[in-house]
């Protein structure tokens, strides 16, 4: 294994795996830290953790355990992947985990670059944009677990870490890899070892990747991985062999959705125009009035592509949290979606689509999925994946995908173009 990656959630990890596979690396995603060695032909391994919203100390411990396993696989470079909207609180977990990984690897200049231009995430003057809106005006300010109200990633990171935060400007990135490398050395030499790097385009990410060739640790969204495979290719270390991924022709398809993002709500609304959809009432889930088996039975009785969703606007989400408590509501819905995934697969679903980071984490854990083989891209950042001989899945981050994502994912999982 050449590149060892640690993702702080399951959808983001599949996004990263998709990026690396598109750049020609034989990539496998692992759910949690494996208890056995990787296959010898794996060039990039992505250990997907559910560590974004847990206490920082637990996130650090999990991430260091993943790092130890990846080091044992012979990795030459490591990547810590977080969301392209830098989802975190003032307590972490991005900064604390990155500092712990840097300390374990002896790295004194760590890149922070959440940029993913294909989905509208860009960074300039240290400020993160989603399309033409600052992060704090993009809808992410209403996120139920990690509301992002400050678009200056330098300030956000500084509130999370013990070390000092540096910055490489877009003007420096535009001058090329040598200029970026010099800027990284300048910031590190001045004691600012946690370095936010601006980028606006895929070309900028390729430049940053080239400048990071000698760095043991890089952090960012999946876009930052774009330029890393080229360094291994230049050294003649990448085979370029195809994975031979195939879709699942037999069985049924179903979709589940717990994301409340703006884009996911548009996707749910579009899907409801043409296909069966069941709105999951959070109050009834928490009270036990609505069971996962009942929703699964409804899905299995439908024709076409049934969708079971709990997506709602921020006001409704806050109302549920106020009635039951944020942690209790989140735990109840995650447990519900884990049970629902099990019931659907037991009922004959072989193509499963999941939207939302926490929801997808619950689905993956509920089904006890271990190794995910990366297939073709459905939409930017979302690959089709094979979870076993009779199951293919798609795990979508909340804001990713076009409005027709659910229908498109169903076709791709079946093996259609």
266 and 400 Cβ atoms separated by less than 8 Å: no
67 backbone φψ class: left, alpha, beta (φ>0; ψ -120 to 50): alpha
pLDDT of residue 241: 66
Tens digit of each residue's pLDDT (9 = 90 or more) over 347-359 = 999 999 999 988 9
Q: Decide if 3-234 and 252-414 have a common fold.
A: no
* Residue 245 confidence (pLDDT): 83
Alpha-carbon distance 299 to 344, whole Å? 8
**Which of 154-168, 270-284, 285-299, 323-337 is predicted with the least confidence, judged by mean pLDDT?**
323-337
**pLDDT tens, position by position, 11-69:** 889 999 999 998 989 999 999 999 999 999 999 999 999 999 899 999 999 999 999 99
The predicted structure's pLDDT at residue 366: 95
Q: Which two tokens stand for residue 412?
A: 């791709």
The total of other beta-carbon atoms located within 10 Å of residue 391's CB is: 18
**The domain defined by 3-234 carries CATH number 3.10.310.30:** no
pLDDT(173) > 90: yes
Residue 308 and residue 280 in contact, taking contact as beta carbons nearer than 8 Å: yes
Q: Tell me, what's the pLDDT at 243?
A: 66
Region 213-238: what's the mean pLDDT?
95
- What is the model's pLDDT at position 324? 84
What average pLDDT score do residues 306-319 get?
Answer: 84
Question: What was the pLDDT predicted at 242?
Answer: 61
Mean per-residue pLDDT over the chain, rounded: 94
Pairwise pLDDT comparison (70 vs 311), residue with the higher score:
70
- With a cut of 80, say whether residue 312 has pLDDT above it: no
CATH entry, 252-414, from 1.10.1040.10, 3.40.980.20, 3.40.630.10, 3.40.190.10: 3.40.980.20
Helix (H) or strand (E) holding 158: helix 153-158
Task: Say whether 189 sits in a helix, a strand or coil.
Answer: helix
Domain boundaries, the chain: 3-234, 252-414
Q: Alpha-carbon distance 211 to 172, whole Å?
A: 12
Reported confidence tier of residue 311, pLDDT bands at 50, 70, 90: confident
pLDDT confidence tier of residue 100, bands split at 50, 70 and 90: very high
Q: Per mean pLDDT, which range of 66-80, 158-172, 200-214, 256-270 is the poorest? A: 256-270
């Amino acid at each position: 294994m050449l590149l060892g990656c640690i993702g702080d959630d399951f959808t983001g990890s599949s996004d990263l795996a998709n990026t690396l596979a598109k750049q020609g690396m034989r990539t496998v995603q692992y759910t949690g830290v494996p208890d056995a060695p990787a296959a010898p032909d794996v060039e990039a391994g992505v250990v997907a953790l559910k560590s974004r919203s847990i206490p920082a100390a637990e996130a650090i411990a999990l991430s260091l355990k993943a790092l130890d396993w990846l080091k044992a696989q012979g990795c030459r470079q490591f990547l810590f992947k977080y969301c392209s909207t830098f989802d975190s609180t003032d307590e972490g977990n991005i900064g604390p985990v990155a500092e712990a990984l840097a300390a374990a690897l002896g790295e004194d200049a760590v890149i922070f670059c959440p940029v993913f231009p294909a989905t509208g995430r860009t960074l300039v003057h240290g400020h993160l944009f989603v399309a033409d809106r600052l992060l704090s005006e993009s809808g992410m300010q209403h996120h139920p677990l990690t509301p992002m109200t400050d678009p200056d990633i330098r300030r956000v990171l500084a509130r999370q870490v013990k070390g000092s935060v540096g910055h490489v400007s877009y003007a420096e990135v535009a001058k090329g890899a040598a200029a970026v490398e010099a800027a990284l050395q300048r910031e590190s030499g001045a004691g600012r070892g946690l370095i936010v790097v601006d980028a606006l385009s895929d070309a900028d990410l390729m430049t940053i990747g080239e400048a990071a060739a000698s760095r043991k640790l890089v952090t960012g969204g999946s876009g930052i991985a774009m330029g890393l495979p080229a360094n291994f290719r230049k050294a003649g270390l990448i085979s370029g062999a195809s994975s031979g991924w195939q879709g699942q022709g037999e069985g049924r398809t179903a979709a589940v959705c717990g994301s409340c993002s703006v884009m996911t709500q548009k996707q749910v609304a579009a899907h409801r125009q043409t296909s069966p959809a069941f709105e999951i009432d959070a109050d009834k889930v928490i009270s036990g009035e609505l069971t996962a088996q009942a929703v699964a039975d409804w899905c299995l009785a439908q024709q076409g592509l049934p969708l079971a969703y709990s997506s709602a606007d921020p006001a409704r989400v806050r109302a549920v949290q106020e009635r039951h408590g944020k942690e209790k509501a989140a735990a109840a819905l995650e447990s519900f979606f884990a049970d629902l995934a099990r019931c659907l697969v037991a009922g004959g679903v072989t193509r499963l689509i999941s939207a939302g980071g926490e929801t997808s984490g619950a689905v993956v854990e509920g089904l006890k999925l271990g190794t995910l083989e990366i297939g073709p891209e459905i939409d930017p950042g979302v690959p089709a994946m094979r979870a076993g001989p009779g199951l293919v899945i798609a795990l979508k981050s909340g804001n990713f995908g076009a409005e027709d994502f659910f229908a498109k994912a169903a076709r791709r999982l079946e093996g259609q173009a």
